[in-house]
Amino acid sequence: MEHDASAPDPAGPPSWTPPDGVGPTFLPPEDVPRWPRLPEDTALRPPAPEWPSGGPVPGGPRQPVPAAGQPYPAQPYPAQPYPAQPYPAPGAPRPAVAAPPHGPGVPRAGGPAYELPSPYPGWTWDGARWVAVPRQPWAVPVEPGVPFLRMGRNAVFRWWRPVVGFLALAAAVLGTMLVLLIAGGIAHWTITGDEAPLEDGMFGNVTEDLAFQLAGLALVLPWVLLVTWGVGRRAAGSVISVVGRMRWRWLAACCGLGVAFVAVSYALSAGVSVVFEADDEAAEFVGWAEFWKPALVIVLLVPFQSAAEEFVFRGWLLQAVGSYKALRGPLPAMVLTSVLFVLGHGYTGWAMLDIFVFAMVAAWLVIRTGGLEASIALHVLNNLLAFLLPAAAGTLSLEQGGAPWYALLTTVPPLILYALAVLLLARRMRVGTVTPGGPETTETRTDAVRVSTEGVA
């Protein structure tokens, strides 16, 4: 018999209660109330939804759920068809699917480029796995095809690096000179038993004073290399040439031309002295007993002293000034470094113009040949002549005073001849003027100086 849900329960609510004095207990199973069950009647189900217009939902009656392993029935909504089945039939070979791009800057299909965030610092996704990002070396390499003047501007260049490098180099030079002065004073006292007077020169002896000054300047050379690497963050050899090292074959060739420069300069000096200094007596040789000591100091220390000055003024300082884009062309860097070179000496009058011309020619040769070799050879041989001749005559002095105007006749013409000879020889020897790595036949015009990887243009 069907049970009417609306009729009251004939049994009524349970009337059994526990006797007095008896605590709560469980009801016997036969006395558990029986609540009516919902009949299996579809009339109690909620009505089917309707559209706002009042019509039935399109698509007809609800589709049955397919059994396991059976395909889905046809989609009742034609506006949104089911996508194609992505999985092959059981047993069929799986098609090859390309790995999705996940590398930095790889464009997403139909979308903009994106970068997969790394869960670990210093790691990146290469498209298949996480790999460690290689650390950038401290000395950042210079790009290929860069001339010597612009080698100070690498990928990590900042405007403050040349300023900090200049201050660090000045502090290193002052510190080195102070330490060398103390060490020289101790050595002088140990050998002679007398204290250094520090009035008539440093030690009261021109040979000792010359050795002190030349050694102090020579010790600047390693500081230049250290500042180039530490502050400029580039290879220390980049201050020497475009190939990052000394080109010894080219240096030897320039030394040969320097000997010719010295010979021409000496000949002109002798001729000028005859014309303008006819009343002066010819200098006599002081003898080997007095000459060999200063000569030994000069020959041993002048090459390092001259090279150190070239490393500072025509190497690091020229590249530091040339690294700023605001200073277009090589002329500002050449003039500024030449002025500083003059101020670094104690010359006056026409001698200042003489040394300024010397510095300008040396800077021009460095830019046109891509290295310091030509300027080092010129500086070394010029200083050897300037020190050895007075030492042989017994007039060696460390004072750098003035000079008459006709002294320019003994230096400027040989400098011009030396510069022209260097350019011709550089063309013949195919001396590189830009950093290697670029196209060998490509010529570039940088800052109004035409350079080529095959030679000097």
Q: What is the pLDDT along the chain (457 residues), one digit of tens a residue?
A: 555 555 555 555 555 555 555 555 556 666 656 655 555 555 555 555 555 555 555 555 555 656 666 665 555 555 555 555 555 566 666 555 444 444 444 444 444 444 556 666 777 777 677 777 777 788 888 889 999 999 999 888 999 999 999 999 999 989 998 888 888 778 777 777 666 555 555 667 788 889 888 999 999 999 999 999 999 999 999 999 999 999 999 999 999 999 999 999 888 888 887 777 755 566 778 888 889 999 999 999 999 999 999 999 999 999 999 999 888 889 999 999 999 999 988 888 889 999 999 999 999 999 999 999 999 999 999 999 989 988 998 888 888 878 888 888 888 999 999 999 999 999 999 999 999 875 443 333 333 333 333 333 3
Beta strand 113-114 with 130-132: parallel, antiparallel or unpaired?
A: unpaired
Among all chains, which residue has been given the structure tokens 């001259």? 306
What φ, ψ does residue 439 adopt, rounded to 5°?
Answer: -60, 135
- Total domains in the chain come to 1
Amino acid 171: pLDDT: 93
In angstroms, the Cα distances linking 190 to 40, 185, 202, 350, 404 are 122, 9, 16, 42, 42
13 lies in some domain: no
Domain range enclosing 381: 148-456
Residue 244: strand, helix, or coil: coil
Sheet strand arrangement including 449-452:
443-446, 449-452, 455-456
Longest Cα pair distance anywhere in the chain, in angstroms? 157
In angstroms, the Cα distances linking 55 to 46, 59, 60, 81, 351 are 16, 12, 11, 23, 110
Amino acid 430: pLDDT: 93
CA atoms within 13 A on the CB side of 436: 6
pLDDT tens, 346-380? 888 889 999 999 999 999 999 999 999 999 999 99
396 lies in some domain: yes
**DSSP bridge partners of 125:** 130
118 lies in some domain: no
Q: Let me know if 168 is exposed, middle or buried by CB neighbors in 10 A (0-12, 13-18, 19+).
A: middle
Contact predicate 339/356, CB 8 Å? yes
State how far the Cα of 180 lies from the Cα of 166, in Å rounded to an integer. Answer: 21
98 lies in some domain: no
CA 212-320-135 angle, to 5 degrees, is: 105
Amino acid 395: pLDDT: 85
Amino acid 416: pLDDT: 94
86 lies in some domain: no
In angstroms, the Cα distances linking 412 to 143, 268, 313, 405, 407 are 37, 10, 20, 11, 9
Amino acid 101: pLDDT: 47
State how far the Cα of 335 lies from the Cα of 331, in Å rounded to an integer. Answer: 6
Residue 270: strand, helix, or coil: helix
275 lies in some domain: yes
User: What one-character DSSP code corresponds to residue 348?
Assistant: -
191 lies in some domain: yes
Amino acid 449: pLDDT: 37
Amino acid 40: pLDDT: 55
User: What one-character DSSP code corresponds to residue 455?
Assistant: E
pLDDT tens, 179-200? 888 887 787 777 776 665 555 5
Amino acid at 436: P
First to last CA, the chain: 117
Amino acid 426: pLDDT: 95
Residue 177 token pair: 């000179």
Instruction: Count H helices and E strands in the chain, helices first.
Output: 10, 7
Amino acid 17: pLDDT: 59
Q: Let me know if 260 is exposed, middle or buried by CB neighbors in 10 A (0-12, 13-18, 19+).
A: middle
The DSSP secondary structure of 272-291, one letter per residue, reads: HHHHH-TTSPPP----HHHH
Residue 189: strand, helix, or coil: helix
101 lies in some domain: no
